[in-house]
Structure formats: structure tokens, C-alpha cells
Structure 1
Amino acid sequence: MRMSSTVMRKDDGADGSRRRSSDEEVRRSRERRSGGLEGEEEELEQLEKMDNGISLLQRIKNKLLHHLLSSSLDVLRFLNNVDSKPDPLLPQTTGAVNSTWDQWFERPKEAKRCGCFIL
């Protein structure tokens, strides 16, 4: 049996194709940058677009936070107002108004009676 003369290198892919080494990538990025003023101007334009996008997102975030804070303060004021006043539709009682209604919510006292009850 004869050994293959091809040797897998560290930077070879699984299919045997060579991947670009980091040195090649660095060299290519330097070549792109050394294109002169045009390349620098493009980079500056891209940075300016990014800065504009960031400032727009910050303004939107601040506006949303302002609305959120003001609405949550309104909700807190409303809840404090509601909790401080008694409900006019509910009667102020200390016990049952009609004691005959309690029988429906208690267990039957006699074992012979039906075991069905509301609660």
C-alpha cells in the first residue's frame, strides 16, 4: 500500500481546499485601505452614517423612556387615588347582612342531608 503524497496542513479545509490564512487577510485589508483618499472617504461616510443611526436610536429610546415614565407615574397616581377611597357600590358592613344567606356557604349540619353544597 502506497502513502499519498498530499499532506493535510493546519489551514486546509476538510475537502482539501486551502483556507485563507490570517496573513493573507491582513494583506488584503491593507491593500483595500491603501486605495488612497477614496477609501478613507468611504470609511468616513460609513462612520458618519453609523453615528447618525446611533443618535437616532438614542433619541427614540429617550422619547420612549420619557413616555414610559410619565405613564407609569399616571398609573401610580390613579392606583393611589382608587385605593384611598371606599367603593360607593359596596356596603360598609362588619358582618353578614342577612344571616340566612350563610347557610348556602356552610356544610350541612346533619349527616343525612345531601352532601351537595356550593363551596
Structure 2
Amino acid sequence: MMDSQPSLPSSSSSPWPSSPPRGRGGGGGGGGGKRGAAASPLTINFLGRHRMAAAISQLHHQIDVIKEELEQLETLGESSIACRELFSSVESVPDPLLPTTQGPVDMSWERWFRGAHESKSHKRWI
């Protein structure tokens, strides 16, 4: 019998996935005398299969990319050491464009360069 063979969508059917027929009458599916839940697994939706295959392929690609990134991260040194070195080098060399002074040179400019009110040091950035 043809019940074991999945039926192909007809040429007049929509290429988009649709819900299985409900209730009596209408619909294809090749389920013979049985309708409802038994008929829906026999219908093949090729567009749905293609989308699922594309999604799975994309996930495999993302997994491969993440594995490569993990391998690269394993070869790097500890980040805390690099951060400490960077922090100490930045702190030790003052920025030539923003020198610090112990007070305002001109009182009229004071309002533009006020520090935080709770600052412990009274240094001003000019």
C-alpha cells in the first residue's frame, strides 16, 4: 500500500509550511482512512527540511569558530599580568596634553576645571 510512502506536496499547494488539516474532510496526506495525528507525520515539508539543515549547518560553523577562539585564548598569557603592566605604564607617564597643577593659574578658568567635590587631592586637570 502507499501508506508507508510519504506523499509529496502537490503543485497547487503553498511552498510555505502549513498546519495539518483539522477535523473532517479536505487535506491530503495519504493517510488512507485514518485522519488527524496519524496523517501528519507522513507529509514531507521540503522547505522546512532545508531551513532546518541550514540552521544546523550555521550552528556547526559557530561551534567551529568558538573552538578556534578558545584554542587561541589558551595560548595567551594571563590577562591580569598584561593589565597590571599596562596600568603601571599608563600611570607612570603623565599625559602631556593634560598636565596636573596644584591650583588654578587663572581664577576665571577655575569654574571650567573643577574636580569632584569629594576628591581627596586638590589636583586640577588643565
The TM-score with structure 2 as length reference comes to 0.35
Structure of greater relative contact order (alpha carbons < 8 Å, 6+ residues apart) = 2
Which one has the largest radius of gyration? 1
* TM-score normalised to structure 1 length: 0.37
Specify which structure has the higher proportion of helix: 1
